[in-house]
Amino acid sequence: MGRTRKSCCCIFLVILVIAALIAGGIAYAVLKSKKNSNASANIADESKYAEALKVSLQFLDIQKAGKLVNNKVSWRGNSALKDGSVVDVDLSKGLYDAGDHMKFGFPMAFTATILAWTILEYGESMKKVDQYKPATDSLKWITDYLVNAHPKDNMLYVQVGNADTDHKCWDRPETMSDKRPVSQINKTSPGSDVTAETAAALAAASLVFKKSSDDTSYSEELLKHSKQLFSFADKYRGLYSASLPKVKKYYNSTGYGDELLWAGAWLYHATGEKTYLNFVTGKAADDYADMDNPTWFSWDNKLPGAQVLLARSSFFDEEAGGNSVIGNYKQTAEAVMCNVLPNSPKTTSSKTDSGLIWVSEWNSLQQPVAHAFLANLYGDYMKKSNNKKLDCDGETFSRDDLRDFAISQANYVLGKNPEKMSYLVGMDGFGDKFPQFVHHRGASIPADEKPSCSEGFKWLESDEPNPNEATGALVGGPYLNETYVDARNNVKQGEPTTYSCALAIALFSSLTTTHDVDKSLS
């Protein structure tokens, strides 16, 4: 009996081993299949992000003022050719801010900074999908305007058009007839926020054109203006919306310390000069950096961007990396990451049920797109520097976790949402539709019509879809309950902006290919 039991046991053990091997083989095959499937999905997604990048860049062409060059938008033409003529300055270029015909220098400069940052970090990805030149062309269209807006020291033109008057009209930019006054800040009416943001834009762009052009004179010109503007912003401190109270209704600034740090960081990257490193690690850091307190990146708050940009120095700059204050910026940048990672102990409650970061009912997509870009960029810094772990209160996360978060926000924008709607006009994405009633004057009026200021309102009130597609427009986005009302009068949800478009370009560029950032921006 004993021998029989032992034999049975041996046979049973053999069967168990064989079963385990078979199960293991099946599990491995399933896992391998799943990994291959995910890899295929990621490849497919990358092609979709490349398409989204191409579509997004077209909106910048739609928003261009001035005498258009190689215009590919059939329903757009020359406009605002006399902008700035009242002060003998050519302010005809630049971008219209949103669905109106205003040129607000503050968000326009932010648009340029983000576009330049994107080109610097992901220019190689852009080149692979033939979007590098469209991006640099649009950047130069803005920087040409910003340079002209700074005709002399301690003065900057920051607005073209009267917003109150402009918003009483519904017409095409090509036929607008209302007066186009200009507004400036100067020593007695300072604006450190808009001036420093302009300095940041020109410093970042100087690096782009230093790399992309055989002629370095334009890059040098941008850097010269950037330095002068930073000095102006620092020496004559004040809020531009205090100097120009009427702008509070449209782009009220809540502080200028973040822009000073942002501009100082960009000038350090552009020049390598210790003066700017000392600025961002000195008293200005004590006064404005708000260390260890994650906030939301936007046209008004540059702190998260500055923290990530200065964390870059901690990863790749031996000289700056040893600075303890730079280390604090890196620590705060990590807090920004922990705030948005969905499984982090520090994750924000400011999100929808489907996981979209949601901060404001006005232009709700700005923050999720902005932070998705920052997260993926920070993950790329980790990958390039071989930093494998991000610690969030004892829980560790990887570069892939940051990329997964970025993908989740991008996919939501492109249609993986309860509405099954892509919020990027001109692209169905993962959904089955995109907005047809975008709050945008030029898109809503037939190209062969020439209505006066008041005559055009019949197209605002029309229940017909826009006759012209505002391709690449990223609309404001869903409410907290994840609903979206596609109506032309729904300004909160349906009006696109150039700065949100720039952030979308940044996000899609970062996801277009699996790309390592360069250690140096210069």
- pLDDT one-digit tens code per residue, 468-479: 999 999 999 999
User: Which residues, other chains included, contact 24 with Cβ-Cβ below 8 Å and sequence gap of 6+?
Assistant: none
As assigned by CATH, the class of the 45-512 domain is mainly alpha
Of the pLDDT bands very low, low, confident and very high (cuts 50, 70, 90), residue 306 is very high
Q: What's the whole-number mean pLDDT along residues 81-103? A: 97
What is the C-alpha to C-alpha distance for residues 262 and 301, in angstroms, rounded to an integer? Answer: 10
Q: Per-residue pLDDT tens for 359-390?
A: 999 999 999 999 999 999 999 999 999 999 99
Q: What's the whole-number mean pLDDT along residues 76-89? A: 97
User: Catalytic site residues?
Assistant: 439
Is 50 exceeded by the pLDDT of residue 15?
no
Element (H, E) at 395: strand 395-397
Q: Per-residue pLDDT tens for 509-521?
A: 999 987 778 888 8
Mean pLDDT of the chain: 91
Rg (C-alpha) for the chain, rounded Å, is 25
Is 50 exceeded by the pLDDT of residue 307?
yes
Q: What is this structure's pTM?
A: 0.91
Report the range of poorest mean pLDDT among 26-30, 169-173, 362-366.
26-30
Q: How would you write 202-238 as a 3-class SS string? A: HHHHHHHHHHHCCCCHHHHHHHHHHHHHHHHHHHCCC
Q: Per-residue pLDDT tens for 118-133?
A: 999 999 999 999 999 9
Q: Per-residue pLDDT tens for 41-70?
A: 444 488 899 999 999 999 999 999 999 999
Q: What's the whole-number mean pLDDT along residues 447-455? A: 94
Domain boundaries, the chain: 45-512
The pLDDT, as a whole number, for residue 340 is: 98
Burial of residue 26 (number of CB atoms within 10 Å: 0-12, 13-18, 19+):
exposed
Torsion sign, CA atoms 135, 139, 142, 144: negative
Helices 274-281 and 324-340 pack at an angle, to 10 degrees, of: 60
What is the C-alpha to C-alpha distance for residues 415 and 478, in angstroms, rounded to an integer? Answer: 12
- Longest CA span, the chain: 111
Q: Per-residue pLDDT tens for 207-251?
A: 999 988 777 999 999 999 999 999 999 999 999 999 999 999 999
